């Protein structure tokens, strides 16, 4: 997962908070008896083991993709704090159908990927906080109050499966987690098998929303997505996120360009870019944009939908929009257990 650097932690009257709340959470450190006798054990993406004697009743989740997983597991009643992004228009239209508290905008938002309010988190008295592993300062501050932190870092589909599996363990819904993972893995495998015998395999260049020069290399979730769609990643560099020159894109000359959802640019803009007119993808009109982020989030079990779209764009003689929409509806119903599309 690509994250911007720099996490700002809002700590209001730090010393006063420590003095007032030490009695609630105890002194910094671990409680050996609880850790050794607990039955619910997981290891987060830092390699740190978390042990619970019972499923956490109050969870603050400040990662939207992880929050999506909690709702898939039907454990939303444990959530007492959410990332501020769920109230953005696009995400709100979905989450408001999943949770009445979000619809009424009553669930607190003590942070997001780039901002943490320690004061607000402490006031919520959570049993568990879920944030990115890269938010090291925030993690240290939260753990000083004896609050467990499950730190997340996603680089592959397997990481997404691990996250769901771990949530299933600590929230006592392992059977549901296992069924969702099997459903997703099975869907991806069926897609690979459908196109595996294709003779003329396509290559694709992935374009992030920052512009044509921003892409992902071989060791990335994007590559896994392309591989599932039986498409080759045109970028042969190893890094997860790379900045490349237009000249390099010409060296690769991809068959198609796949755009991450971009509010400031459409495929037509890329097709008209004077610097790109010599590319095969441009000359053949093969530039495609993934739809809204909620439906195409690579870092959730919904990764199956963008994989299907890319495969269709690469190999289908005609794009069957009605069929794709029907499959999207079914995916939502299976993953979330309810209808999310009108």
Q: Are residues 144 and 16 in the same domain?
A: yes
Residue 26 included in any domain: yes
For 172-198, how does the pLDDT look when each residue is reduced to its tens digit (9 = 90+)?
999 999 999 999 999 999 999 999 999
Residue 184 included in any domain: no
Residue 185 included in any domain: no
Q: Are residues 58 and 168 in the same domain?
A: yes
Alpha helices in 38-132 (DSSP H): 64-72, 89-98, 100-103, 118-124
Residue 328, domain extent: 197-336
Q: Are residues 220 and 145 in the same domain?
A: no
Residue 120 DSSP code: H
Residue 190 included in any domain: no
Segment holding 284, helix H or strand E: none
Cβ atoms of residues 122 and 21 within 8 Å: yes
pLDDT tier at 38 (50, 70, 90 boundaries)?
low
Q: Are residues 132 and 233 in the same domain?
A: no
For 244-261, how does the pLDDT look when each residue is reduced to its tens digit (9 = 90+)?
999 999 999 999 999 999
117 - beta bridge partners?
10
Which CATH number characterizes residue 119's domain? 3.40.50.1980
For 262-302, how does the pLDDT look when each residue is reduced to its tens digit (9 = 90+)?
999 999 999 999 999 999 999 999 999 999 999 999 999 99
Residue 1 included in any domain: no
Q: Which whole number is the average pLDDT over 146-168?
A: 98
Q: Are residues 281 and 156 in the same domain?
A: no
Q: Are residues 161 and 204 in the same domain?
A: no
Helix axes 174-195, 321-336, angle to 10 degrees: 160
Name the domain count of the chain: 2
Q: Are residues 143 and 226 in the same domain?
A: no
């Amino acid at each position: 997962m690509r994250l911007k650097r720099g996490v700002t932690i809002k700590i209001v009257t730090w010393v006063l908070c420590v003095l007032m709340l030490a009695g609630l959470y105890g002194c910094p450190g671990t409680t050996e008896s609880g850790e050794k006798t607990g039955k619910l054990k997981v290891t987060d993406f830092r390699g740190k083991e978390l042990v619970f004697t019972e499923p956490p009743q109050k969870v603050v989740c400040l990662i939207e993709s992880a929050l999506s997983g909690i709702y898939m597991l039907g454990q939303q009643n444990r959530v007492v704090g959410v990332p501020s992004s769920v109230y953005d228009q696009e995400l709100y239209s979905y989450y408001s159908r999943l949770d009445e508290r979000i619809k009424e905008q009553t669930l607190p938002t003590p942070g997001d990927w780039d901002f943490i309010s320690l004061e607000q988190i402490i006031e919520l008295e959570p049993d568990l906080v879920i944030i990115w592993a890269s938010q090291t300062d925030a993690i240290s501050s939260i753990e000083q109050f004896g609050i467990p932190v499950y730190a997340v870092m996603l680089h592959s589909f397997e990481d997404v499966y691990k996250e769901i599996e771990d949530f299933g363990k600590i929230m006592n819904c392992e059977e549901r987690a296992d069924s969702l993972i099997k459903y997703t893995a099975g869907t991806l495998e069926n897609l690979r098998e459908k196109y595996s015998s294709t003779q003329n395999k396509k290559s694709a260049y992935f374009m992030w929303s920052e512009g044509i020069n921003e892409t992902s290399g071989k060791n990335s979730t994007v590559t896994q997505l392309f591989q599932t769609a039986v498409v080759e990643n045109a970028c042969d560099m190893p890094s997860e996120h790379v900045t490349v020159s237009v000249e390099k894109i010409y060296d690769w000359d991809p068959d198609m360009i796949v755009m991450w959802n971009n509010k400031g640019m459409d495929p037509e803009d890329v097709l008209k870019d004077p610097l790109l007119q010599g590319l095969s993808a441009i000359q053949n009109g093969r530039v495609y944009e993934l739809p809204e982020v909620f439906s195409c989030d690579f870092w959730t079990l919904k990764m199956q939908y963008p994989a299907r779209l890319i495969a269709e764009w690469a190999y289908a003689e005609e794009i069957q929009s009605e069929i794709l929409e029907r499959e999207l509806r079914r995916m939502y119903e299976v993953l979330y257990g309810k209808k999310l599309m009108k």
